[in-house]
Amino acid sequence: MSYRLDDLDRRIIHALMDDARGTSAPQIAEAADVTPGTVRNRIGRLEEAGVITGYHAAVDFEQADGRLRNLYLCNAPVAEREKLAAKVRAIPGVVNVRELMTGRRNLHVLAVGEDTTDLRRIARAITGIGVEIEDEDLVQSETHHPYTPYSPDEGRQGSISDFVSLSGGSEVAEMTVSEDAPIAGLTLATASRRGIISDDALVIAIERDDEVRTAHGDTTVEAGDVVTIFSRGGVDDEELAAFRGE
pTM of the predicted protein model: 0.63
Residues 149 and 240 in one domain: yes
In the three-class reduction of DSSP (H, G, I as helix; E, B as strand; rest coil), residue 11 is classed as helix
Residues 161 and 233 in one domain: yes
Instruction: Provide mean pLDDT across the span 14-29.
Output: 91
CB of 25 closer than 8 Å to CB of 43: yes
Residue 153 sits at φ, ψ, to 5 deg, of -105, 15
**What's residue 161's pLDDT?**
58
By residue range, what is the domain housing residue 11?
7-48
- Average pLDDT of every residue of the chain: 88
170 domain-assigned? yes
CB of 61 closer than 8 Å to CB of 113: no
Residues 12 and 29 in one domain: yes
Judged against a pLDDT cut of 70, whether residue 1 lies above it is answered with no
Max Cα distance, the chain (Å): 54
Check which CATH number belongs to the domain holding 33 and give it: 1.10.10.10
Q: 3-state DSSP helix/strand/coil percent for the chain, to nearest 5?
A: 35, 25, 40
**What's residue 113's pLDDT?**
96
25 domain-assigned? yes
Check which CATH number belongs to the domain holding 168 and give it: 3.30.70.1450
Among 36-45, 67-76, 131-140, 157-166, whose mean pLDDT is lowest?
A: 157-166
Q: Among 109, 140, 171, where does a domain finish?
A: 140
Residues 175 and 233 in one domain: yes
Give the Cα separation of 169 and 161 in Å (integer).
20
- CA angle (188 as vertex; 186, 194 as ends), nearest 5: 75
**What's residue 99's pLDDT?**
93
**What's residue 153's pLDDT?**
67
Give the Cα separation of 211 and 196 in Å (integer).
25
55 domain-assigned? no
Report which of residues 55 and 245 the model is more confident about: 55
Domain total of the chain = 3
239 domain-assigned? yes
Residues 20 and 68 in one domain: no
Check which CATH number belongs to the domain holding 81 and give it: 3.30.70.920
What's the pLDDT tens digit per position in 143-200? Answer: 777 877 787 865 444 555 567 777 777 888 888 888 888 999 999 999 999 988 888 8
What's the pLDDT tens digit per position in 210-222? Answer: 788 888 889 999 9
Closest listed residue to residue 16, CA positions, set 40, 49, 48: 40
Report which of residues 244 and 127 the model is more confident about: 127
151 domain-assigned? yes
With a pLDDT cut of 90, the percent of the chain lying above it is 50
